[in-house]
Amino acid sequence: MQRLGPFETDPHLAVGVSGGRDSLALTLLAAEWAAARNGLVTAVTLDHGLRETSAAEAGLVSEWMAQHGIPHHTLVWPDSPGLGQPGMGASEAAARTARYGLLEAFCRDHEILHLLVGHHLDDQLETQVMRRARSSGAFGQAGMPAVRELAQARILRPFLDIPRARMTATLHVRGQSWIEDPSNQDAQFARARMRMGQSTRPVVALDKDARMARSRIAAEREISRVAARAVAVHPAGFATLNPALLAAADRDAGVRLIGSLVRCIGGRVYAPRGKRLDRLAEKMIDDGLDGGATLGGCTVQPCGKGLVRIARELAAIDEPRHVIGEGDRVQALEWDGRFHVSFPAADAPGMALDGESRIGAVGKFLASGVPEHPDSPRYDALPHTVRMTLPAICRAGQFHVCALPFSSDSGRVTAKARFAPKIPAAGAVFATG
């Protein structure tokens, strides 16, 4: 844990616990670590609904946590495809994405900064083997990072350099049983096939993997260094880049930084790769951008004085959707993978749901003929293309632009928006454990 810090005084940690041996051992040890520092651990389980036993398993985990005096919460996946659906592999992948999304939202709502997950050395070796088989580059073959920064929390993997046998031994010594996940023995999953087939068990060139990790660490430090000098991210959700400073830096770092900016501004989890990114980077760095380009749901355009603006592409934003929440009110919501939208005290404890209120981009409302309320914040100083991609709330046939934190121009505020992309432009440097 010390290598993954620093930590606040009286740390409050969340641990994702499925009931398997890895997450159970992590929860018990993390609770002791936090208690020694006058802190607290909260265990969180996702009832994914993909197996008939998922609810019972979550209940059993809750009983175990109560025996150890550890607070526990069960989160239900509301969009679970349910039992017996085809394409179980896709369902498992969707469950993994939903799990992290729900855990991150839980951390945000409970003001918890650190989210611990139980990946261990065996998982890391398997990940590296599979990525080598897919011919991943140095970043992919470095494996999973021990620290990953999300918009609302830091994901920590304290066991990443510890073999699974240590988790098993820890639980045996403590007399703690665990739940075996049947998907670990399901041959339709590549990781399960690797574990079951003797011929496919990881035979890992550890020196090579260590070199890949060192290469990624060095590259990310260079990316962060260049970003600090060349990039300005605006709280309205766009970035300004000085390509001349990229030209003076390592070429590969410049290309990766452009990809990271597109990912950040576009609200994506993964950065674009391949020839389109390479061509865009070449144009930007060599001053050949001309009228602009699009990539990864973003527009890339010259904006004067040799600078380039990366902004969200209006055409890539979903159409306005109805605002939904628990009960008859909604407290806050995430929009377009970029903004956290909250509702003011005047509507406490949230915005009343009338079945008609919608959230969407300014440009989408205007294109469909919805007028802007005369008291809506204007933000006329922003570039027009940026203003068109801001979040807005439509009620009673008119829309209000959500209030942004950098300006006092709030009009008759119906909602506040904070730029909170899924992945930062330059986050924590890759950590191996």
The pLDDT value given to residue 203? 46
pLDDT at 321: 93
Using an 8 Å Cβ cutoff, are 124 and 213 in contact?
no
Q: Between 206 and 151, whose confidence is greater?
A: 151
- Name the one residue in this structure whose structure tokens are 């403590």: 174
Q: How far is CA 5 from the centre of its chain?
A: 20
Choose from 80-89, 197-206, 301-310 the range with maximum mean pLDDT: 301-310
Q: How do residues 178-196 score in pLDDT, each as one tens digit?
A: 999 766 554 444 545 555 4
Write down the pLDDT at residue 183. Answer: 60
CA 89 vs. chain centroid, Å, equals 21
Would the pLDDT of 17 be above 80?
A: yes
Question: Does the structure show a pLDDT above 90 at 234?
Answer: yes
User: Domain spanning 2-200 has what CATH number?
Assistant: 3.40.50.620
Does the pLDDT of residue 105 top 50, yes or no?
Answer: yes
- Give the pair of three-digit tokens for residue 130: 């599979």
pLDDT of 113-141, one tens digit each?
999 999 999 998 888 888 878 767 767 77
Q: Residue 53: its pLDDT value, please?
A: 86
The residue count for the chain = 433
Q: Which of 6-10, 67-71, 170-174, 423-427 has the lowest mean pLDDT?
A: 423-427
| Per-residue pLDDT reduced to its tens digit, 371-391 | 999 989 989 999 999 999 999
Instruction: Quickly list DSSP for 189-241.
Output: SHHHHHHH-GGGS----HHHHHHHHHHHHHHHHHHHHHHHHHEEEETTTEEEE
Threshold 0.85, pTM exceeds: no
Cα gap 194→343, rounded to integer Å: 48
Residue 394 tokens, joined: 């439509």
End-to-end CA distance of the chain, in Å? Answer: 9
Quickly list DSSP for 108-163: HHTT--EEE----HHHHHHHHHHHHHTT--HHHHT---SEEE-SS-EEE-TTTTS-
Domain definitions of the chain by residue range = 2-200, 320-419
Residue 270 is predicted with a pLDDT of: 85
Calpha distance 341→402 (Å, rounded): 8
The pLDDT-based confidence of 200 (bands split at 50, 70, 90) is very low
Give the mean pLDDT of 5-11: 92
Residue 49 banded pLDDT, cuts 50, 70, 90: confident
